Structure 1
Amino acid sequence: MDTGNSYYGRQQPGASHDSTMAPTPQRPGSPSGDSGRNPFGDGVDSQAASQRNANPFSSPSASRPPSSFDSSSAAGARYEGQRFFHSRRVRKGEVEKPWTKNVDPKEKWVTILPIIGIVIGLAISGFLVWDGLRSVVKHKYCLVLEENWDNGVDPNIWLKEVQVGGFGNGEFQRTTGDDTNIFVENGNLIIRATLEDDARLQKNFTIDLLEDKTCTADDYKSCIAVTNTNDGNSSVVPPVLSGRMNSKPGASIKYGRVEVTAKLPEGDWLWPAIWMMPVEDKYGPWPTSGEIDIVESRGNNYTHTQGGNNIMSSALHWGPDPANDAWWRTNVKRAALHTTYSAGFNTFGLEWSQKYIFTYVNSRLLQVLYTNFDTSLWDRGNFPIADANGTRIHNVWEEKGGKNAPFDHRFYLILNVAVGGTNGWFEDGANSKPWLDGSPNAKKDFWQAKDRWLPTWKSPQMEVEKVMMWQQCNGDEDL
């Protein structure tokens, strides 16, 4: 140990008072200003302590980057090198701009050519938009029907269909002309499904619409229904009452537009429809003369396998015979957006010309089904050469119609609420369906399960606010 510079020793004889030897250190907590001094003499703690004493809220010196000090490093050693992040402002006239003195005449084209390109591009885009708008067919329409039910159900326009035969679909309802099932309430047409008297299904009973002359059909099966309780007999009268009406007496169109504003029913196995049938069977019985389904739906909720009241579908029916109905080639579904079609009113529309048919919901921009007639439906159908019996199938539209046959003659509008059916609209086994389509007991099985489906009938009716029909009247409808 060098005793001449001892840390704890006294001043040695001969030593100057100006000696740089460190004094005796103070104890912690001493009021002396040197209490933060580093006894090893490196100067770092002294500088940090000095700054802490000056500003108790400042960052410790050791944690600050060197660039934060004006001219010293974090360790306190001063140097005269270039400062970090040093910059200066460029003064006007200090930087030469040779391009302002020697202008190349070709440089202007660097600006002119892109501007010319933009102008040409805008001109071409404008022409394409104009040409597209010009090519859109704009038909002239003449009003045929504006029905808001101010005068009730006008029999000069509407026919209430009264039948018991299931309308070819094995439907379970009897349609009536009674005010119970078709009536106007609060300015809206109501088509409501109700229950048949249970006694008529529990004992022998006959409904004969021919006898009371109310049947709107002319065949026996559509006008007479029987409950037969004899052993082994499954016959029952339709277990449900409902309504169906059409505009055949007073409103039909060949090409044009249709809009129906309606709210669809809510309840299991209800089957609402807004659709069109031909005034005359120009090409023969269904489906050779066509059918236009603007909207069909199911009253079941969204859990139904085939879609419930959250789904609507549009379809065209066409073909040389019922076994070769090509509806599946022209069938489209549309889901309601975060709601159901039974929750409120929607406008279901159809636009139909000699060149196309399309359906829509609420706006023509929200198309559901679109079918054009650029190719004949016969070619599009790709029908077999012969039917199941070996009878040759021929083009039923070739002689009398064009590419859009059978959708080239007058159609009328139908509004109805059906219930059940045996044609596959409600798939067997789906969502605990209580009957089988092929069973002779289908109607009876449905009725016996009413404790399951009747509680779901929260709104077993279709409400129709307005019906609009326009005829295309350009004068060139058959072009």
Structure 2
Amino acid sequence: MAVGTPTESTFQEALREQNDEIELPTRTNAKGEAQRPWLDKKDPREKWVTIIPLLGILVGLILSGIIVYDGLQTVQQNSYCPIFEVDFATGTLDPKIWTKEVEVGGFGNGQFEETTNTDENAFIQDGMLILKPTLQNPSLIIINNTLNLTQDGSCTSTGWANCVAITNTTNGTIINPVKSARLNTKKGASIKFGRVEVVAKIPAGNWLWPAIWMLPVNNTYGPWPASGEIDIMESRGNNYTYPQGGDNIVSSTLHWGPDPDNDAWWMNNVKREALHTTWNADFHTYGLEWSEKYIFTYIDTRLLQVLYTQFNKPFWQRGNFPPAAPNGTRLVDPWSQTGRDSTPFDQEFYLILDVAVGSTNGWFQDGVQGKPWVDASPTAMKEFWDARFQWYPTWQQQGGGEMAIKSVKMWQQKGYNGC
């Protein structure tokens, strides 16, 4: 061993002397309690961990309030006079207000229903108005027959073709294969600007076409669609898998144009999809608000708007119509004489409630989901009738294919029509 090299005993003695000089901290404060020295002195930055999230929540609530307030302010408030309200508790329809339309013309859409004035298709039950389509009497279809609604004076249309239907077993034409109901308030309740609310449960069933809509009392600007049409709600009874939109979709639109070939409905057609359900699963309020400056439809609340159109531009300019119709007839602006951007939606309109069945106007697209007829076929109604064992059970399985209406309310905006 070299001179001056420390021995092992010398190292151990030095280490003991050093440990005696250093006071080591204890690892516990009490039996079973661990020491937590970080609690003795808090980091001043820790408070922001709590403050910042709280500030974020507060700012979010303030912004949400501002957005809701702004939304309420943009929904213009008007004053109204109530002109008609019914909840059907009396069990009868007021004949001074309501008209049950009777015709077979399909309202220009090639619909398959005969609308009747009987209690079979429109009746009050449990305080609700029920519109229910039913099958036509087979005896009118299987052999040659003529249904002439003018004979007893029941036809409510002025056109002969809307009052007479024929079954001809040779060429395959038949009398309308179903019966249904269409009611209007033209006789006693109409508005020029105002509000409408209909609380209804729409029907389910293949090829049903429920609608809540309005037409002008007078064709001031010419025949349809020159004088306008307001569709508050329309849907299809097919289920949610239907590609065009079934009972999970409702839509609103305005019809307007110089002639039927130039109906610009597609420019303001808006659809609303039900959220995780279907519209026929429950009752909903289908509403309209209409003024000289705008028109909008809504479901359940005025804030849940479907269609919104502002009257800030003449409808002739909106349409960008061609100079002439397909037959060469020059198209002329039917609304220019008023100088109002709201024309043709500046006249009195009345309410219509109906459940149509089928059509040949494209509302149900050919070849989609087993559609049993072709629109262009001259025997479309017979093709539909022949498939009744496919579609009629869907009406019965899903509540009878009926539309139930709890109430109808109409208000006139103050300053118009004596309000």
TM-score (norm 2): 0.82
The equivalent of 1:366 in structure 2 is 304
Could you tell me which amino acid in structure 1 is paired with residue 84 of structure 2? L
Q: Which has the larger radius of gyration?
A: 1
Q: Is 1:401–1:408's contact at 8 Å kept on the other side of the alignment?
A: no
- Superposed, 1:393-408 pairs within 5 Å as 393-408=331-346
Match of 2:184 in 1: 246
Alignment of 1:27-426 (within 5 A): 137-151=76-90, 152-230=92-170, 233-426=171-364
Amino acid at match of 1:275: W
Contact kept, 8 Å, 2:192 with 2:417, in 1: the verdict is: no
- Whole-Å Cα distance in 2 between the matches of residues 201 and 162 of structure 1? 19
Partner of 2:377: 439
Write the distance in 1 (CA, Å) between the matches of 2:110 and 2:295: 29
Residues in 2 aligned to 1:329 and 1:167: alpha-carbon distance in whole angstroms: 22
The 1:130–1:238 alpha-carbon spacing in structure 2 relative to 1, beyond 3 Å, is closer
Shift of 1:197: 1.4
- Secondary structure of the equivalent of 2:383? helix
1:193·1:241 contact (CA, 8 Å) conserved in 2? yes
Aligned pairs for 1:1-40 (under 5 A) are none
- Root-mean-square deviation (CA, aligned residues, Å) is 3.1
- Specify which structure has the higher proportion of strand: 2
Q: Is contact 1:267-1:456 (8 Å) kept?
A: yes
**Cα distance between partner residues in 2 of 1:302 and 1:83:** 76
Greater mean deviation of Cα atoms: 244-253 or 383-392: 383-392
Alpha-carbon deviation of 1:130?
A: 9.2
User: Which SS does the other structure have where 2:329 is aligned?
Assistant: coil
The one-letter code of the counterpart of 2:342 is N
Runs of 4+ in 1 over 3 A off after TM superposition: 77-90, 126-137, 474-477
Residues 1:148 and 1:204: Cα distance change in structure 2 (over 3 Å): same
- Kindly state the Cα deviation for residue 158 of structure 1 after the two structures are TM-superposed: 0.4
| 1:168-205 C-alpha deviation (Å, 9 max, x unpaired) | 00000100000010110000000000001122211011
Q: CA deviation at 1:80?
A: 5.5
Compare relative contact order (CA 8 Å, sep 6+) and give the higher one, 1 or 2: 2
Q: Which of residues 407, 410, 414 is equivalent to 1:469?
A: 410
Asked if the contact 1:165–1:223 (Cα under 8 Å) also holds between the matched residues in 2, the reply is yes
Aligned CA distance change for structure 1 residues 144 and 476 (closer, same or farther; 3 Å): closer
* Distance (Å, rounded) in 1 between the aligned partners of 2:240 and 2:266: 22
- 1:13 aligned residue: none
Is contact 2:75–2:303 with CA below 8 Å preserved after alignment?
no
Aligned 8 A contact 2:72 2:303 in 1: no
In structure 2, list runs of 5 or more residues that go unmatched: 1-11, 26-35, 42-61
Contact persistence 1:139–1:474 (CA under 8 A) = no
Aligned length in residues: 371
TM, length-normalised to structure 1: 0.72
- Given that 1:227 and 1:235 are in contact with CA atoms closer than 8 Å, whether structure 2 keeps it comes out as yes
Structure 1 unaligned spans of 5+ = 1-42, 44-71, 91-121
Question: How many Å apart are 1:129 and its aligned residue?
Answer: 10
- Residue identity over aligned pairs, in percent, reads 54
Q: CA deviation at 1:395?
A: 1.2
Task: Name the CA shift for 1:392/1:79 in 2 (closer, same or farther; >3 Å).
Answer: farther
SS at match of 1:183: strand
Other structure's SS at 2:280 match = coil
Between 150-159 and 178-187, report the one with greater CA deviation. Answer: 150-159
- Residues 301-310 or 133-142, more deviating: 133-142
Q: Using the alignment, how far apart are the partners of 1:149 and 1:440 within structure 2?
A: 41
Contact 2:240 2:247 in 1 (8 A): yes
Q: What is the CA–CA distance in structure 1 between the aligned matches of 2:210 and 2:38, rounded to whole Å?
A: 80
Name the stretch that deviates more: 258-267 or 137-146: 137-146
Distance 2:351 2:179 in 1: 21
